[in-house]
Structures are given as C-alpha cells and as structure tokens.
Amino acid sequence: MPIRPLALSVAAALALASACSPGFTDRGAVGPAAPRTASEWPSYGNDAGGTRYAPLARITPRNVARLDVAWTHRTGDASDGRGGVPSTSAFEATPILVDGTLVVCSPFNRVVALDPVTGAVRWRFDPRIPLDGRYANQLVCRGVSTWLDAAAPAGAACRRRILTATNDARLFALDAATGAPCADFGRGGEVDLNPAAGEQRWRGEYQVTSPPAVVGDLVVVGSAVGDNQRWDAPSGVVRAFDARTGAERWAFDLAPPGFRRTPENTSAAGHALGTPNAWAPFAVDEARGLVFVPTGNPMLDYYRGDNPEMDYYGSSVLALRGATGEVVWRFQTVHHDVWDYDVPAQPTLVTLMREGAPVPAVVQATKMGLLFVLHRETGEPLFPVEERPVPTDGVPGERLSPTQPFPVRPPPLSLHHLRPDDAWGVVLLDRLACRRRIESMRHGSIYEPPSLQGTLVLPGNAGGSNWGGVAVHPERRIAYANVMNLAFVVRLLPRDEFERTERPNSRVELSPQKGTPYGLYREPFLSPLLLPCTKPPWGKLAAVDLDRGEILWERPIGTVDDLVPIPLPWELGTPTLGGPLVTASGLVFLGATMDHWLRAFDADTGEELWRGRLPAPGNATPMTYEADGRQYVVIAAGGHGRSGSRVDDVLVAFALPEER
C-alpha cells in the first residue's frame, strides 16, 4: 500500500499551486489503582462484532466543541526507516479498556497498561522483537485482546489475560494485572507462530499485525505475508490456540478443497504455500460461536495465470466454526483477484430490520469502495448482488473471471471509472497531461486487467476502504465509512525487461513476482504537478442507511495544511488510514487523515463540529470510555511511515473540562 510517494507529491504540488529473545516486564512502573468507576472497551472494535459503537453520551453535539487534551502518553517507539531501525512504523493501535486499565501496543509490539484517568503507566511488557528486520508490512500493531479464565479463582495470576501477537510472529499471554507472561501458556508465556508458515526468505516476510480474536477459550490468529515477492510465499493458515495452555487446537488451511499437495507447494507443517492470508482483524459472534475472517488474495497480487486454483478462498469473507475451524460459509468479493483488492477490514456484525423482523447481518467494507451486506448465518446477500461482465483480455497466460460481483445496494462509495473526460488538474495544462496519459493506457471502469502497456486501477490497492473499516450505530443501523478516490498505474513487465528496469523515482514500486513470467511496476497516477489525476475529494466520510442501502450524506475529509508551509483554503480530502467511532449521543469521531487533527462530526448531517490538534496524523481508530465521571476519547497519533507524514509515538486522550 504505497501511499508515501503520493502524500509527498500532493503536498509539494499544492504548495506550488497557490514507522527473539524472551520478553521483559517492567513491574517497577506499576502506577495508581484503578479508577472508582469505568466503562469498558474490551475488544479492538469495542464489541467482538466490531461495531466501534459506544453507548456513551456525556460528550454531545452541543458540548463537543469544549473538548481538550486530558493527558498524553509517549511509547518511545517510532521509526522513519533511518538509523538502527530500517523498517518504518505506523502507530495504528486502538487501546482496550478492561478491569479499569487501558492497554495498548506500540509498533514495536511493546505493551503498556495505563491509568485511564491520568495516563500514568501501570506496567510495561517488551517482547524484544528484532528491530533490524525488513518487515514487509512496516512495524505495526493494531491492538491487543483479552480473555478471562472463568474457572480460575478470583485474584489468581493470569485469570485475566492480555493476548498480543507480534511482527516477528509470536503469540503472548500476559497477566492483565502485572504484565508478566503467563508461565502456563506455551513456553514461558509465548507461542512461536513461524514453523507452520513455511520457510521465510527474510526476517519480516511473515508478520501478525492485527489483534487476535477470542472465541470461547480459543485464541484465533491470522497473518500478514509480504506481497508481490514469490508464488511460494509462507502459508496464510489461520490457527486457533488454547487460551490457557497455548496448545494448537485447529488450523484452517486456505488452500482450495481437493488441493494436491507436493513438497514444492507445502510447508514442513503440511500447509499449502502461496495461499490467501488473513491480515485484517477478525470479528466474532459469541452467541453463534462463529469467527468471521476477511481474506487477502493469493500470491501473486497482479498475475496468477499459473495458479488459478488458489482463488477459492481469496478476497472473501469466511464464517468459521470457532470450536473447530470448519467453514460454515464463504462469500467472495472479487473473483480471481489480480488487483490487490484483498478484503482489508474487520467484518462488522449488526442486526438489521427486514419487513419488520430482525436479521443478523455482517457488513464488509472493501478496497473497491463497495459494502457487501450479508446474512450472518448463511452468507447470502441481504441486498441483491449482480454478476456483471468485465474485461477478460489480460496478458498472455492469465485466466480472468468473466464476471465480478456488484451489490445493487448500497451504491459504490468510491469512484469506479476514469476516462479521458474525467481527467482533473489544478490548471488546464495539468488536466490535459492527465488526459493524454489516460488515453495512453488501459482505462475505463473498475476491473480493467493489468497489462503490458499499463492499466489505470481505480480504486487503487489502498482503497476505497482499508483496515479502518466502518463504524455502525446498532440502533439506527447506520454505517459510517471513510474511503479514498486514488488511482494507480499498474504495468506487468516481462521477466527480461523487469530485470533491466531501474526504479526511476521514489514513487515507483518494483516487485519481482518470482515464479511468474512478469515483474510488477506500480505507481500512483499523478499529473506533471504531482497531483492525483482523479477529481477530488481524494478522501471522504460517508453515512449509509443499512436497512435501505442508501447513502445519507458524504463529505470531504482532510487537508494538506500540515504538509505544506502555507495553509490552503481547500478541503480536497486526503488519503485516510484509520477508522471511525460512533457514539450514542450522535457523534462520529475520525482521525485517519494526513493532517494533524482528530475531528468530530454530527452523525445526522456530517457537519464538522470540532477538531482537536494532534502531534502527528491520527492514522488509527479512536476509542472512548467513561472513568470517574468523565468521558474520554483516545487516539494513537503516530503518523504512517509510508505516507510521508510526521512519524510519532503519542497516545492522546481528550475530555471535557472537569466540573468544579
């Protein structure tokens, strides 16, 4: 998801126009006791179904303008890729709040427990991941999870556990009260996730970046595998472990049914190589015992003519039986995905109304800017999904799907076509140059195949939506989604040409796609002034009625004021990484943009009611809670190492002024 070059380019052009040794727990840092009263935010998305909804109402549309910083905490963990840490970092974590303690992970996978009222440190844990690795997906930790051992006596060590997985692919269980590793879990509190994956070619090719899912007494984890490198990449197997002992209970291999295994396509643990992986957060229906898994596309992202059978579970939403890993249903959002349109976001579990009756649903945001609304028990669409014809004349050797699924409702939230007449530029010559470039490449609508001449892919591989997903108000059944309108140029280079090609500038990505006839050339589609050739807004926030499948409102979000020396009058929207939060009082909170603001919007109208200054972009999803009579809104402000923005390490809590 190469956003950095685009960010730098947009900023410059607009100025011109007017981030394996045993872990360590710091018990000396134990802080004050828990607050007298506190609500909870026990999972990454608050509830296990990922609604990112808080039934809190102390902060309202009428008083939100009075929010101010209550406390800040610095993790000390940030990297711009220079110095002794070659990988960049992104502080994408959403804290959880359990038993009166706020718990968050840093991009270096250090876990810290904080007092939710003051931000004071209670304990720290350091898994000591190797920081000299070349991590394919940056240094990222989006959150931690928790599990309560109901069979353990009150006050027992590790009765409440914090579960966290790391960039170097280890799973830890920590005592929530002290941060000490739980000695009965795996080996001294950790489980090594690496052996089942297959041989890694470099440290950091196989990571875990999202929080584990918890279903019953099991901990379920996926993985993030380096893109566009080789067809026999590490397995994307999804695994479940006993929350008490760390013993593996089941493994779901994402190879298709009937897959013929050979020594060349199978890891030493027996799992297929080059399968889809599941890097985004999972959702859990605790009552039904289901785990909902969003999957990526198989290897490789832009050519798979030699490996079409791996499509079966690719770019899909899967419902797995939590106790066994058995597939209950699957729904594929893209057939034979050669656009890197892997499903990037946590599925969101809601109850909708159909003909006056409640229906259990799952809402899936996608990189295409499409929302798929499915029946939670069967995977059947709750709005019609049409299989529409798409081009099939790809490069020699490719075998493309003749149709792709499009939901009739809701309508697309992102642009789906880019033709010469759609070219945009800040001045006439800029627009004409964009027009000529469009004419020179494959273009048209979404799902134009990658080509030798170059194909315009819109939305690009960053989305549409990305890992921030949506927030849903469960009573009003309205989803809030931030999306992007950014096109990318994709070219497939024959192997001999790829070997001769040098990277012309920092905006271009060259990836080998080993084991195929083609290497990959990819870059953001920019004008001579280095502005996107797609019309603004380049980032926006939308509200969608999930009962009717209608867009209620949408608005641009984000400015480039923090990327240029002189503030500019236009809110053209920026790329967004992070997600929204919605509250019972009718507020939507969103950071995610490339500027240094956390914003609050009226959930009914989209009107911006407040913005709070951050030390760096809040490329994370905020959360909220009440403690000692005050409501707090907390967001990680660390920027994004690939966006060109400021990289930082600050957790910021906002609250209304104390009443005296």
Residue positions annotated with a catalytic role: 340
Handedness of CA 242, 248, 254, 258 (dihedral sign): negative
Backbone angles phi, psi at 294, to 5 degrees: -85, 130
Strands (E), 130-254: 139-140, 145-148, 160-165, 170-175, 190-192, 206-207, 213-215, 218-221, 224-225, 238-242, 248-252
**Distance between first and last Cα of the chain:** 48
- Scanning the structure block, which residue is given the tokens 């990571």? 207
Do residues 441 and 455 touch, judged by C-beta distance below 8 A? yes
- Strand order in 170-175's β-sheet? 145-148, 160-165, 170-175, 190-192
**CA–CA separation, 276 and 347 (whole Å):** 17
The DSSP annotation for 422-453 comes to G---SSHHHHHHHHHHHHHSB-EETTPPPBSS
Side chain identity, residue 647: V
Q: How far, in Å, are 77, 279, 334, 545, 582 from residue 604 at the CA level?
A: 38, 33, 32, 11, 11
The total of other beta-carbon atoms located within 10 Å of residue 86's CB is 15
446 alpha carbon, distance to own chain's centre: 22
CB burial string 388-427: b at 16+ within 10 A, e below? eebeeebbeebebbeebbbbebbbbbbbbebeeebbbbbe
Handedness of CA 250, 252, 258, 262 (dihedral sign): negative
The total of other beta-carbon atoms located within 10 Å of residue 549's CB is 17
**CA–CA separation, 318 and 336 (whole Å):** 16
Residue 575's closest CA among 649, 482, 648? 482
**Numbers of helices and strands, H then E, in the chain:** 3, 45
CB burial string 249-284: b at 16+ within 10 A, e below? bbbbbbbbeebeeeeebbbeeebbbbbbbbbbbbbb
**CA–CA separation, 179 and 550 (whole Å):** 46
Pairing type for strands 478-484 and 470-473 reads: antiparallel
Do residues 634 and 652 touch, judged by C-beta distance below 8 A? yes
Residue 259 CB contacts under 8 Å (≥ 6 apart), including other chains: 272, 309
SS3 state at 219: strand
Side chain identity, residue 95: P
User: What SS3 string covers 539-593?
Assistant: EEEEEEECCCCEEEEEEECCCCCCCCCCCCCCCCCCCCCCCEEEECCCEEEECCC
The total of other beta-carbon atoms located within 10 Å of residue 157's CB is 14
Side chain identity, residue 72: T
